[in-house]
Amino acid sequence: MAGLQRRLAEFAVARNWQQYHTPKNLAAALSVEASELVEIFQWLTPEESAAVMDDPESAHRVTDEVADVLAYLLQLCEVLGIDALAALDAKIERNERRFPIT
Amino acid sequence: MAGLQRRLAEFAVARNWQQYHTPKNLAAALSVEASELVEIFQWLTPEESAAVMDDPESAHRVTDEVADVLAYLLQLCEVLGIDALAALDAKIERNERRFPIT
Amino acid sequence: MAGLQRRLAEFAVARNWQQYHTPKNLAAALSVEASELVEIFQWLTPEESAAVMDDPESAHRVTDEVADVLAYLLQLCEVLGIDALAALDAKIERNERRFPIT
Amino acid sequence: MAGLQRRLAEFAVARNWQQYHTPKNLAAALSVEASELVEIFQWLTPEESAAVMDDPESAHRVTDEVADVLAYLLQLCEVLGIDALAALDAKIERNERRFPIT
| Residues ≥6 apart with Cβ < 8 Å to D54 | none
Residue C31: pLDDT above 80? yes
Q: What is the mean pLDDT of residues B22-45?
A: 98
| pLDDT of B101 | 87
| pLDDT of B90 | 97
The answer to whether A74 and A5 are in contact (CB under 8 A) is yes
Percent of chain B at pLDDT > 90 equals 98
ipTM of the complex: 0.96
| pLDDT of B102 | 77
Neighbours of D95 (CB within 10 A): 15
pLDDT in tens, A32-67: 999 999 999 999 999 999 999 999 999 999 999 999
- Which residues on A lie below 8 Å from C39 (Cβ)? 32
* Gyration radius from chain D CA atoms: 17
Kindly indicate the confidence band of residue D26, based on its pLDDT and cuts at 50, 70 and 90. very high
Contact flag B32-D25 (C-beta cutoff 8 Å)? no
In this structure, which amino acid lies at residue C66?
V
Closest CB to C28 among B28, B45, B46: B28
Kindly indicate the confidence band of residue C68, based on its pLDDT and cuts at 50, 70 and 90. very high
Contact flag A76-B8 (C-beta cutoff 8 Å)? no
Contact flag B41-D35 (C-beta cutoff 8 Å)? no
In this structure, which amino acid lies at residue B89?
D
Rounded (5°) CA angle C20-A37-D98: 50
Can you spell out the DSSP letters for B21-49? --HHHHHHHHHHHHHHHHHHHTT--HHHH
Contact flag C101-D15 (C-beta cutoff 8 Å)? yes
- Which residues on C lie below 8 Å from B26 (Cβ)? none
Which contiguous run of DSSP H or E holds residue D47? helix D46-50
| pLDDT of A19 | 95
pLDDT in tens, D48-87: 999 999 999 999 999 999 999 999 999 999 999 999 999 9
- Which residues on C lie below 8 Å from B45 (Cβ)? 46
Helix (H, G, I), strand (E, B) or coil at D83: coil
How many residues would you count in chain A?
102
Kindly indicate the confidence band of residue A101, based on its pLDDT and cuts at 50, 70 and 90. confident
Alpha-carbon gap: D26 to the closest alpha carbon of chain A (Å): 12
| pLDDT of D102 | 76
| pLDDT of A102 | 76
Percent of chain C at pLDDT > 90 equals 98
Neighbours of C54 (CB within 10 A): 9
- Which residues on A lie below 8 Å from D46 (Cβ)? 45-46
pTM: 0.97
Q: How many whole angstroms separate alpha carbon A99 and alpha carbon B2?
A: 22
Q: What is the mean pLDDT of chain D?
A: 97
Percent of chain D at pLDDT > 90 equals 98
Contact flag C43-A32 (C-beta cutoff 8 Å)? no
Residue C102: pLDDT above 80? no
- What is the set of domains in chain A, with CATH numbers? 2-98 (1.10.287.1080)
pLDDT in tens, B66-84: 999 999 999 999 999 999 9
Q: What is the mean pLDDT of chain B?
A: 97
Q: Does B45 touch chain C (CB under 8 A)?
A: yes
Instruction: List B residues 53-92 in contact with A (Cβ-Cβ < 8 A).
Output: 53, 62-64, 66-71, 73-74, 76-77, 79-82, 84-85, 87-92
Closest CB to B20 among D28, D32, D43: D43
pLDDT in tens, A62-93: 999 999 999 999 999 999 999 999 999 999 99
Q: What is the mean pLDDT of residues C37-56?
A: 97
Residue B61: pLDDT above 90? yes
Contact flag D31-C34 (C-beta cutoff 8 Å)? yes
- One-letter-per-residue 3-state SS of chain C: CHHHHHHHHHHHHHCCCHHHCCHHHHHHHHHHHHHHHHHHHCCCCHHHHHCHHHCHHHHHHHHHHHHHHHHHHHHHHHHHCCCHHHHHHHHHHHHHHHCCCC
Q: Does A46 touch chain D (CB under 8 A)?
A: yes
